[in-house]
Structure 1
Amino acid sequence: MAVELTTEDKLEYNFFPNRSGYFQFRVKAANDAHIALSTAAAEVDPMYEIFIGGWGNSRSIIRKNRTKPDVAEASTPGILNDNEYRGFWIRFGNGSVAAGREGEGQPFVEWRDSENVIVEYVGVCTGWGASGNWIIEQAGSSPSAPPAMGGRGGFSSVCWVPASNGQVPPSSFAGGEDNGEQVYIVRSNFGGGVIPGKLVPSHNVAYVPWGGTENAVPEYEVLCDFNGSWLACNGANIPANAVPAGQSEDGEPLYVGRVVHDGNLTVGKVQPSHGCVYIPYGGQELGFPDYEILVQ
């Protein structure tokens, strides 16, 4: 769901709950579109700030705890425009903070912190002579609805359809194969998180990898109406256009990956902090550092 917002020239943040690890928006401003990543709906430490188009729309920076020196800086002349919307994404989690332009996979500014700050809220504001109009792709109120880049107008078109007991909704996205049978991409609430996994329809259940085990789940959500693709990936090098599909019990964003094992192409979860994809297979949770990741 997109939220439209106008911010005045006040440098006062408007906060939204967001634990997804991803934030996407469009903004129309002459300069100084500011984004805060905070542990509360307020300016409290620890907190990150990303200033896009600061210093007269010439530079973008990342700052921690509202203090100088800035921890990262990039030259970005003309990155904002007060007559047209410009799209951006912010990715955060496991000490990493990155910002990039809509439609581009590589960030224009990024930084890795030795401290792992658990971001709970994202704030936006404008200042230094600029007001702003924003279109914000709002994160879900629960971890079952993380956002993803892509789709109409560059915003999320990822669709998850509830199903159960082996049901395959129309337009389900097939991501693998098990003994000649198509395997579909699912996610399910399990172990305090929302875990990506696989659906083998003939088994009448879906499976998610968690706690070292292949866990059968009778109720799940299936990825539908999706036109993404797969990209070769290694370890924790998550591409910016990877599709967030859930989160761990600790709030870490999880992605969809797949790997060939035992002659089958099996879908599972990518957990960046572990540097691998985990697949549910043969009663076990198996990890692989080299895999394909779902992107959009």
Structure 2
Amino acid sequence: MSCVDLETEDRLQYTFFPNRSGICQFRVRASNDAHIALSPSAAETTPMYEIFIGGWGNSKSVIRKNRTKPEVAEVPTPGILTDQDFRGFWVRWENGTISAGNEGEGSPFISFTDYERVPIEYVGFCTGWGARGSWVIEQREGGGPIAPAAYTQGAPYAANACWVASGNGQVPPRPFVGGEDSGETVYVCRSNFNGGLLPGKLVPSHGNGYVSWGGKEHPIYEYEVLCDFAGTWVATSGGNIPSGALAAGQSEDGEPLYVGRVVHDGALTVGKVQPSHGCLYIPYGGKELSFKDYEILVQ
């Protein structure tokens, strides 16, 4: 058994490690929101479980299934994390029971038993909501970390869904083309905004990307660009999400968001598909515009 050091940003993107042992032990230094994912694949998928330690301002810990509310388990844990030193924890999964406890203690501080037996093969780690994390993880199986990537609904994990950090209008090598505006190529990007990770459009000549939220178009100067992706566009409507659709982010409530596009005012514009709203939203002309008929990005 060996230990792996991991640094996580304030991004809510998991780095996955293979682990079929039924237990994960780690130490983490973070001010709040140390998140652990238990998944059948190296991606955020369905089904899966998440354990949020020190969430909601380091006031409570929860277990969530399939990234949906309400939480299946919740306990108050004020001050359980600190960014001053490392705190040790364990997570176990056996016979449908998911549990987490403090290092050196045999009893869990939170647990949940599920009727569905999910085959856990990967464990993911991330931080968010204003926190960065330093981790020391006991590695029980060979292999290094698997880079964070987007969750794909209804299809296997897409290893070629690569998001490259950039900013200020810069375009990384081999970007995925999303559309066109006034003769200029527009690319698929995403960015953290108001507690969500939102798909949007990158317009290089503007020196920034754009996302839509709250009825408005918002410029973003730090973003990730979809690169090295072999995808295509499929016509759909409303909240109909075809198999293989690429989830590129999530709303502030944890709902998966997809990449869509539509022709508007002569421009082929990229935006976010929110299934529960039954539409595509695009950032355009300072506004957030909605469309019931659109194209969605699939593998």
TM-score of the pair, normalised by structure 2: 0.58
What is the deviation of 1:294? Answer: 1.0
Report the CA distance shift for 1:45/1:267 in structure 2 as closer, same or farther (over 3 A): closer
Q: Structure 2: which amino acid aligns with 1:230?
A: W
Given the alignment, which residue of 256, 262, 265 partners 2:265? 262
Task: Work out which of the residue numbers 176, 180, 191 in structure 1 matches 2:179.
Answer: 176
Q: CA deviation at 1:239?
A: 2.5
AA matched with 1:255? Y
3-state SS, counterpart of residue 241 of structure 1: coil
Shift of 1:135: 3.7
Describe the shift of the 1:133–1:118 C-alpha distance in structure 2 as closer, same or farther (beyond 3 A): closer
Q: Secondary structure at the match of 2:276?
A: helix
Contact 2:181–2:268 (CA<8 Å) still a contact in 1? yes
C-alpha contact 1:257 1:291 (8 A) present in aligned 2: yes
| Counterpart mapping for 1:19-168 below 5 A | 23-25=39-41, 37=49, 92=66, 116-118=69-71, 125=94, 135-136=121-122, 138=124, 140-142=126-128, 145=148, 147-149=150-152, 154-168=157-171
What's the counterpart of residue 203 of structure 1? 206
> Against the structure 1 CA distance between its residues 47 and 203, is the aligned structure 2 distance closer, same or farther, given a 3 Å change threshold?
closer
Match of 1:288 in 2: 291
Q: Which residues of 2 match residues 184-199 of structure 1 at below 5 A? A: 184-199=187-202
Runs of 5+ unmatched residues, structure 2: 1-14, 26-33, 54-60, 75-90, 97-117, 130-146
Partner SS for 2:41? strand
CA deviation after TM superposition for structure 1 residue 240, in Å: 3.7
Find the counterpart in structure 2 of residue 54 from structure 1: none
Contact 1:140 1:146 in 2 (8 A): no
Q: Which residue of 2 aligns with 1:31?
A: none
Query: In the superposition, relative to structure 1, how do residues 191 and 47 fare at CA in structure 2: closer, same or farther (>3 Å)?
Result: closer
User: Do residues 4 (structure 1) and 21 (structure 2) align?
Assistant: no
Distance 1:4 1:175, change over 3 A: same
User: What runs of 5+ residues in structure 1 fail to find an aligned partner?
Assistant: 27-34, 49-91, 95-115
Q: Is the 8 A contact 1:18 1:119 kept in 2?
A: no
Report whether the alignment pairs 1:231 with 2:234.
Answer: yes
Q: In the alignment, which residue of structure 1 is the partner of 2:111?
A: none
Deviations 1:82-134 (A, max 9, x none): xxxxxxxxxx456xxxxxxxxxxxxxxxxxxxxx535799985458xxxx986
Check whether the contact 1:207–1:214 (CA below 8 A) recurs between aligned residues.
yes
Aligned pair count reads 211
Q: How far is the alpha carbon of 1:47 from its aligned partner?
A: 7.0
1:258 positional shift = 0.5
Flag the 1:139–1:164 CA change in 2: closer, same or farther, 3 A.
same
Structure 1 position 260, deviation (Å): 0.9
Helix, strand or coil: the match of 1:202?
Answer: helix
The answer to whether the Cα contact below 8 Å between 2:274 and 2:280 also exists between their aligned partners in 1 is yes
TM-superposed deviation, 1:244: 1.5
Q: TM-score, normalised by structure 1?
A: 0.59
2:19 is matched by which residue type in structure 1? L
Q: Alignment RMSD, CA only?
A: 3.9
